[in-house]
């Protein structure tokens, strides 16, 4: 996999983050702290639910669940192993209580959404791609990516969200979880799917509207992270060992473990001999922390600056890590 694909994606994230930091400067004063909290509420109550519901409705069918049954298990394994690594890191570093959930969450939850949406189509279009014809590769790849995003969102908001909530001693908010019920109902019930999904559906405008709103989630939460980063750069008091530990967990330990899990599943016949599907499963172990961690910490008002510092380092190093691991994964499959 060429460096340009990953570096281009990471550069976009860093540029939007830099813009958020600029907008939060005192002399600019557009994305001040209270503004970030209000915008974050819009992300949580509108953009994220729309993104999750629309992706679930598009991708989740009875047939897809049967065919891709190992993917939810694979993602669950990444969350469980990441949580264990995060818990070990917490035991060694003894951080303040309010950021313990953040540390575990960053180790557990990977970016299973926008990273894949850009990487997989780019890989399919590359010359000499091992995944066959570009159009066929992209069609199957986007299906895998959408399913990955939807399942990842369920685990994030059902599991990691509550870990951070418990750490921050906050209050449970249920909106995104409810939209996941909604998304599964649309996808699994053929009659509802027929009237909502597809260009010929009578009520397809509802799905189109949800997708349009969902598209605003990623750039908006990246701007918020950039705004929070300003305070972090001025001094978050965060231990360097915590940052190093999270990078080791996400960029070294998890990908190595992932190779054994995916190869073992292939040998046992749990997954088909589809190189693209295996590649997506392997990448789920190697991506940087989920950007929605910033949304969660902002909701509870605990660990926003620390989260921004972690994300800055994670995405700065992602171009190197993802390029190396992607090249190795292609060689292995």
Domain of residue 179, CATH code: 1.20.1530.20
Q: What SS3 state is found at 28?
A: coil
Q: What is residue 154's predicted lDDT score, i.e. its pLDDT?
A: 84
Provide the domain limits for residue 278: 3-332
Q: What is residue 208's predicted lDDT score, i.e. its pLDDT?
A: 72
Share above pLDDT 70 across residues of the chain, in percent, rounded to a whole number? 80
Q: Give the chain's radius of gyration (CA, Å).
A: 19
The answer to whether 246 touches 312, Cβ cutoff 8 Å, is no
Smallest CA-to-CA distance from 149 within 7, 311, 284 is with: 284
Q: How many domains does the chain have?
A: 1
Please state, rounded to an integer, the average pLDDT across all residues of the chain: 81
Q: What is residue 236's predicted lDDT score, i.e. its pLDDT?
A: 58
Q: Which residues pair with 289 in a beta bridge?
A: 110
Stretch 67-83: mean pLDDT:
93
Distance CA 293, CA 221 (A): 9
Q: What is residue 225's predicted lDDT score, i.e. its pLDDT?
A: 76
Residue carrying the six token digits 């060992």: 241
Smallest CA-to-CA distance from 281 within 71, 72, 64 is with: 71
Please list, residue by residue across 209-234, b when 16 or more beta carbons sit within 10 angstroms of its beta carbon and e when fewer do.
ebbebbebbbbbbbbbbbbbbbbbee
- Each residue's pLDDT tens digit, 288-298: 998 888 888 87
- Each residue's pLDDT tens digit, 124-179: 877 777 788 888 888 788 778 878 888 888 898 889 988 998 887 644 444 454 55
* Better pLDDT: 19 or 8: 19
């Amino acid at each position: 996999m060429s460096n340009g694909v990953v570096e281009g994606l990471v550069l976009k994230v860093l540029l939007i983050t830099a813009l958020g930091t600029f907008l939060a400067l005192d002399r600019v004063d557009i994305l001040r702290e209270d503004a970030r909290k209000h915008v974050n509420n819009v992300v949580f109550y509108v953009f994220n639910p729309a993104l999750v519901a629309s992706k679930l409705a598009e991708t989740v069918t009875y047939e897809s669940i049967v065919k891709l049954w190992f993917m939810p298990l694979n993602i669950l394994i990444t969350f469980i192993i990441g949580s264990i690594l995060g818990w070990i890191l917490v035991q060694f570093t003894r951080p303040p209580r309010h950021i313990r959930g953040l540390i575990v969450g960053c180790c557990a939850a990977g970016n299973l959404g926008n990273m894949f949406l850009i990487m997989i189509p780019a890989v399919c279009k590359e010359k000499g791609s091992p995944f066959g014809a570009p159009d066929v590769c992209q069609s199957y790849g986007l299906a895998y990516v959408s399913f990955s995003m939807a399942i990842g969102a369920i685990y994030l908001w059902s599991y990691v969200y509550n870990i951070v909530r418990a750490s921050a001693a906050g209050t449970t908010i249920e909106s995104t979880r409810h939209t996941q019920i909604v998304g599964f109902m649309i996808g699994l019930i053929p009659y509802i799917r027929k009237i909502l999904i597809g260009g010929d559906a009578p009520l397809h405008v509802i799905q189109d509207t949800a997708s349009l709103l969902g598209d605003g989630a990623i750039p908006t939460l990246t701007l918020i992270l950039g705004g929070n980063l300003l305070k972090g750069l001025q001094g978050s008091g965060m231990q360097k060992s915590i940052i190093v530990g999270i990078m080791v967990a996400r960029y070294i330990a998890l990908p190595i473990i992932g190779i054994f899990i995916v190869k073992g599943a292939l040998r046992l016949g749990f997954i088909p001999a589809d190189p693209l599907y295996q590649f997506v499963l392997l990448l789920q172990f190697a991506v940087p922390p989920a950007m929605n961690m910033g949304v969660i910490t902002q909701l509870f008002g605990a660990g926003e600056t620390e989260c921004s510092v972690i994300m800055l380092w994670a995405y700065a190093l992602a171009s190197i890590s993802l390029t190396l691991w992607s090249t190795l994964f292609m060689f292995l499959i």
